A = this chain, B = another copy of it.
Amino acid sequence: MPREIKIGLLLPQRAWCQAAQKFTGGIGTKLCALLYGDAEKPMETGAKEDPGSEEKRPACTCNTKPCSCPKADVNYAFLHSTDLLPACHGEVATMSFLQDVVDILLQYVAKSFDRSTKVIDFHYPNELLQEYNWELADQPQTLEEILLNCRTTLKYAIKTGHPRYFNQLSTGLDMVGLAADWLTSAANTNMFTYEIAPVFVLLEYVTLRKMREMIGWPGGCGDGIFSPGGAISNMYAMLIARFKMFPEVKEKGMAAIPRLVAFTSEHSHFSVKKGAAALGIGTDSVVLIRCDERGKMIPSDLERRILEAKQKGFVPFLVSATAGTTVYGAFDPLIAIADICKKYKIWMHVDAAWGGGLLMSRKHKWKLNGVERANSVTWNPHKMMGVPLQCSALLVREEGLMQSCNQMHASYLFQQDKHYDLSYDTGDKALQCGRHVDVFKLWLMWRAKGTIGFEAQVDKCLELAEYLYNKIKNREGYEMVFDGKPQHTNVCFWYIPPTLRDMEDNEERMNRLMKVAPLIKARMMEYGTTMVSYQPLGDKVNFFRMVISNPAASHQDIDFLIEEIERLGQDL
């Protein structure tokens, strides 16, 4: 039996609680009380250790805040946000309040990994709106109500760190990443200048250089930025590619330059089209290149379509290859694409938002061979590397281009007569002015795991995907959407309920099969046991797309998923 099953399932609660007593600061005791309620709370724990109990405390009758009345601790029913720092003498109430919030969060974190808890306590939107009063009012709420708001919000949240949450490319909850995100919030600053984010700006510099090294650019040279998500990173690549070819577009707009055409595969992410629409290029100028049965771009079709565009007098300016497509997890043949881009002098972008994580693995990075020839790469550590949301990098091989493309020289921000090296004021590289600190969680996780730790995590998820594939490829009631071992952790399959198994492959079967995945998914959410995504694609009706990016998942969770699909789908 895998080791992981012991957590929260086999370890007796009381034994766990007793073990927990040995550790610092009463945290074990507190957690134990939080998780298992008063019944399981060891005798030596007084009521004041239970942060959930403030409602039960006798009301305080003295009128100083925070009061020193002996019968009350911090009584949140009498406190408001105005009693917290920077209020005079606000330190104690503040520390107590933040600590109680943290206790609520620690409880949530521990439950997230507990397989005996639900992934989701699902409510329909209208139900959820009525379940609680979420409205904003003129008058303030007490801190007691604020703590209740926090508990209620988490009660209905999806446990995205749960070992059985497989719904998105971003899953899991990394403890060092969480700690780093908490620190980022407390530091509450902005990436645009070294002046106000000295450490974070340096860490961005160090981290982006390391990522470029992993891509294979000599010495980690080049440029880059953390942006708010892969779609924006892809849009940046398109923006920079256009600027590189026609710098006058910045001042003169699209009216001054020839009609541009971009190329990407029919399985690529929709953000390529979104970017083209936004940048005034137009979605009609994004040519979708055909894919093989595994979802990889066919290079000969790319070349054919480039020639076609040129014959029409259009200017091919960008090929966006995908390393890890969203649905199939396919890797486009980057070397062949790089050859074509070189031949026709076209900017080669690689959208490795999903597949970039494989660069951390000596076993799997060959799937991105050729990425080192790209002009730009999107890589989202918040996906395969499990960094908390949001953490997406755009890496650019040519230095200085991002700055020339986007800079507007705002003199109130990027003063030229500052007393330090201005090359660290990176804000003018971005379309954003203010920019959230997204780097610290990745940097701290990398320090904590080392490259070998990320490698182990990636290898484990890929091994689990292979386990799933091997388990279902010949199993009764399953059909694979494409043949062969998955290249990434995407495993795409139909579950065929017993009544459909002997049916002829006709329209009626299709119509019934397309309803199977949505129905099973709806039931999964209502039971709250697991979550996995489904979608149609091209002429293929709704199928499950299983992905694994959470290192908390184990073989037994894969087994559970299969059992659950069969339990929920057998009567369909």
Question: Which of A166-174, A335-343, A494-502, A558-566 interfaces with chain B?
Answer: A166-174
**Interface of chain A residues 262 through 304 with chain B (CB within 8 A):** 269-271, 273-285
Question: Which of A181-189, A394-402, A473-481, A504-512 interfaces with chain B?
Answer: A181-189
Q: State the CA gap A410–B270 with chains docked (Å).
A: 6
1/0 per residue, CB under 8 A from B, across A117-128: the answer is: 000001111101
Q: State the CA gap A382–B11 with chains docked (Å).
A: 45
Min CB distance A31 to B, Å, is 5
A333 at the interface (CB under 8 A from B): no
Which 6 A-B pairs give the minimum distances between C-beta atoms? A280-B280, A253-B282, A86-B552, A254-B254, A228-B228, A254-B280
A145 at the interface (CB under 8 A from B): yes
Q: A109-B186, A389-B189 are known contacts. Are A551 and B421 too (CB-CB below 8 A)? A: no
Q: A27-B95, A86-B552, A202-B134 are known contacts. Are A139 and B181 too (CB-CB below 8 A)? A: no
Min CB distance A21 to B, Å, is 10
Judge whether B270 and A31 touch: CB under 8 Å: no
A381 at the interface (CB under 8 A from B): no
Which residues of chain B have C-beta atoms less than 8 A from A195's C-beta? 158, 167, 525, 531
Q: A190-B389, A251-B284 are known contacts. Are A143 and B448 too (CB-CB below 8 A)? A: yes
A116 at the interface (CB under 8 A from B): no
Q: State the CA gap A25–B106 with chains docked (Å).
A: 15
Q: State the CA gap A252–B259 with chains docked (Å).
A: 10
Min CB distance A69 to B, Å, is 9
Judge whether A419 and B250 touch: CB under 8 Å: no
Q: State the CA gap A275–B282 with chains docked (Å).
A: 16
Q: State the CA gap A430–B94 with chains docked (Å).
A: 37
**Interface of chain A residues 132 through 185 with chain B (CB within 8 A):** 134-141, 143, 145-146, 149-150, 153-154, 156-158, 160-161, 163, 167-168, 170, 173-176, 178-183, 185
Q: A139-B450, A434-B229 are known contacts. Are A187 and B410 too (CB-CB below 8 A)? A: no
Number of copies: 2
**Interface of chain A residues 387 through 423 with chain B (CB within 8 A):** 388-390, 392, 405-406, 408-413, 415, 417-421
Which residues of chain B have C-beta atoms less than 8 A from A254's C-beta? 253-255, 280-282
Q: A6-B89, A283-B250, A436-B390 are known contacts. Are A68 and B447 too (CB-CB below 8 A)? A: no
Which residues of chain B have C-beta atoms less than 8 A from A129's C-beta? 202
Min CB distance A396 to B, Å, is 16
Which of A179, A443, A533 gathers the greatest number of chain B CB atoms within 10 Å?
A179
Which residues of chain B have C-beta atoms less than 8 A from A86's C-beta? 4, 7, 113, 163, 551-552
Q: Which of B199, B239, B444, B449 lies in contact with A157, CB distance below 8 A? A: B199
Judge whether A229 and B421 touch: CB under 8 Å: no
A232 at the interface (CB under 8 A from B): yes
Judge whether A518 and B419 touch: CB under 8 Å: yes
Q: State the CA gap A185–B149 with chains docked (Å).
A: 16
**Interface of chain A residues 231 through 250 with chain B (CB within 8 A):** 231-232, 235, 239, 249-250
**Interface of chain A residues 1 through 56 with chain B (CB within 8 A):** 3-4, 6-7, 11, 16, 19-20, 22-28, 30-31, 48-49, 51
**Interface of chain A residues 63 through 117 with chain B (CB within 8 A):** 66, 68, 73-74, 80-82, 84-86, 88-92, 94-99, 101-102, 104-106, 108-110, 113
Judge whether A139 and B452 touch: CB under 8 Å: yes
Which residues of chain B have C-beta atoms less than 8 A from A277's C-beta? 249-251, 405-406, 408
- Can you list 9 pairs linking A and B with CB atoms under 8 Å apart? A20-B92, A22-B92, A25-B26, A84-B176, A101-B182, A125-B194, A153-B183, A157-B198, A254-B282
A446 at the interface (CB under 8 A from B): yes
Min CB distance A254 to B, Å, is 4
Judge whether B105 and A182 touch: CB under 8 Å: yes
Query: Which B residue's beta carbon lies closest to that of A176?
Result: B81
Query: Which B residue's beta carbon lies closest to that of A234?
Result: B433
